[in-house]
Amino acid sequence: MCRKGIVCLSRLTCLLLIVCLVAVSVSGCKKSATVEPIKIGFIGDLTGDTAIWGQAGSKAGQMTTDEINAAGGILGRQIQFIPMDGRGQAVDSVNAFNSLVDQGVLCVIGTNFSSCNKAIAPIACQKKIPLLGTTCTNDAVTVDQATGLVYPYSFRIGYTDEFQAQVLGKYAATELKAKTFASFLDMTQDFAQTETTWFNKAFVANGGKMVGTVSGRSGDNDFRTQLTKLAAMKPDVILLPWFYKDVALIANQAKELGMKIPFMGPDSWDSPELMGLAGPALEGSYYCSQPAFARPETKPFHDAYVAKWGTEPEAESLAVHDGLYWVKDACERAGKVDPVALRDALESTVNFQGLMGPITVDIKTHNPSKEASLFHITGSERVFVGDFKP
């Protein structure tokens, strides 16, 4: 009896202890919920071939988070910026997204790759967590191509491929007076095909003609085979929708082959590194970019970034900066911090003033209406030509 009593007692004590613990932890949770920071996720390529953009975005996010927190946070709550590595790969980016959702984020900013965001968008809708793509430019990022309907939870900060290709195509035909063009496609990237199609439409509409296409694969390093073929087509301009490191290789090899045809490229050329890698070889070429550091209002951000990190920022840095302020703006308009309310507020955004220009969201496509900046490469410098719409 006595023994049994002790056992009972110890069991009772255990039970009591557990109850106490649970009670404490639950009340602890409740209490801390009001002061816990708002978690905002970021996915970028932090370690792969294109880590230059992922890291530029991550650094800008940390800097902007500090700035917002110092000014009182969002609706009185501090924010916590959580960067995750997506390696520029769809599978890794989806894993990163799921892991961020498990950590209880309000929304996710990133990535800058259409291939990654196309994979994440349906999952974002399933989990009801808004996804704000930075400079990913493919239509399919925000619109389900099978149904033609917008992904309710997928947004973007930058413009689309269709848009920038039309700007380039029109400029080539009307301002550069080019009669013919050929395209050199990166077959590993969707945007290369989309941009060729839309460049062609705008170019033909303005009296030009396409003389042919060749294609290659990023990572091949040697492109002289295709360049030799391109040179034989004798186009007035060559559309080159590749990432800047390949652009550098292609331009240098074209120079080696004695080619003097100017190249035109989209925002995937946009990196301060490009001039160091292939400035002289790109003489006379044009590219268009998200409105970025040519805008005077970006100067304080640029200087603060350089002072803090010691490197030049990328357009991606501005996109992440704008993304965070856009989330802040939407939360304040919604009056609460909640993923579903945030989504509604993002969708109804009118004329939000970001450093990359104002954002007004088209409810049918979630594409912001904005302008594209055009740059001319001369004397190994990028010279700002102006902002254009197609």
Partner 1 sequence: MFLQQVVNGLSVGSVYALIASGYSLIYSLLGFSNWAHGDIAMVGAYIALIAQTSGHVPFWLAVVLAIAGAGCVSMLSDMVAYRRIRNNHSPKMFLMIAAMGLSITLQNLIMVTVGPRFRTYGDVIPVRSIRLGGISLGVLDLLTMGIIVVALVALGLLIGRTKFGLGVRAASSNMVTASVLGVDVNLYIRLVFLLAGVFAGMAGVLLGLKYNIYPTMGSIALKAFIACVVGGLGSVPGAILGGVTIGVMEALVGGFISSGLRDAFTFALLIAILLVRPSGLLGKNIVDKA
- Return residues touching partner 1 (CB under 8 A): 47-49, 51-52, 55, 187, 214-217, 219, 221-222, 224-226, 228-229, 232, 245, 248-249, 252, 255-258, 273, 276-277, 280-281
Please state, in angstroms and rounded to a whole number, the distance separating the CA atoms of residues 155 and 139: 11
Which helix (H) or strand (E) segment is 296 a member of? none
Q: Is the CB of 157 or the CB of 254 nearer to partner 1? A: 254
Q: Which is nearer to partner 1, 259 or 341 (CB)?
A: 259
d(CA 171, CA 49): 31
What span, in angstroms and rounded, lies between the C-alpha atoms of 89 and 102? 20
Tell the smallest beta-carbon distance from residue 53 to partner 1 (Å): 10
Q: How far apart are CA 65 and CA 45, in angstroms?
A: 19
Question: Could you please report the per-residue DSSP string of 146-186?
Answer: TT--B-TTEEESS--HHHHHHHHHHHHHHTS---EEEEEEE
CB contact at 8 A, 321 and 301: yes
Closest CB to partner 1 among 77 and 229? 229
Listing DSSP states for 66-89 in one string gives HHHHHTT-BTTB-EEEEEEE-TT-
To partner 1, the closest distance from the beta carbon of 377 in angstroms equals 16
Taking the least distance from each CB to partner 1, the nearer of 216 and 390 is 216
Task: Tell which residue, 182, 386, 380, 168, has the closest CA to residue 283.
Answer: 380
Q: How many CB atoms lie within 10 A of CB 35?
A: 9
Q: How far apart are CA 221 and CA 252, in angstroms?
A: 11
Provide, rounded to whole angstroms, the least separation between the CB of residue 326 and partner 1: 28
Is the Cβ of residue 98 or residue 188 nearer to partner 1 in the bound state?
A: 188
Distance CA(90)–CA(117), nearest Å, equals 8
- CB 20, min distance to partner 1, A: 46
Give me the least distance between CB of 371 and partner 1, in Å please: 29
Which C-beta is closer to partner 1: that of 98 or that of 252?
Answer: 252
Report the distance separating Cα 48 and Cα 85, nearest Å.
Answer: 9
- Cα–Cα distance measured from residue 290 to residue 158, given in angstroms and rounded to the nearest whole number: 7
Which lies closer to partner 1 via its Cβ, residue 122 or residue 212? Answer: 212
CB of 85 to partner 1, least distance (A): 11
Q: How far is the CB of 160 from partner 1 (least distance, A)?
A: 25
Q: How far is the CB of 227 from partner 1 (least distance, A)?
A: 9
C-beta of 19 vs 257, nearer to partner 1: 257
Shortest distance in whole angstroms from residue 45 CB to partner 1: 9
- Rounded to the nearest whole angstrom, what is the least distance from the CB of residue 165 to partner 1 in the complex? 20
Each residue of 268-293: b (16+ CB within 10 Å) or e? bbbbeebbebbbebbbebbbbbbbbb
By beta-carbon proximity to partner 1, the closer residue of 125 and 192 is 192
Of 76 and 258, which CB lies nearer to partner 1 in the complex structure?
Answer: 258
Q: Which helix (H) or strand (E) holds 128?
A: none
Q: CA-to-CA distance for 77 and 356, rounded, in angstroms? A: 26
Q: Which residues contact 320 (CB under 8 A, 6 or more apart)?
A: 42, 57, 58, 60, 61, 64, 109, 110, 134
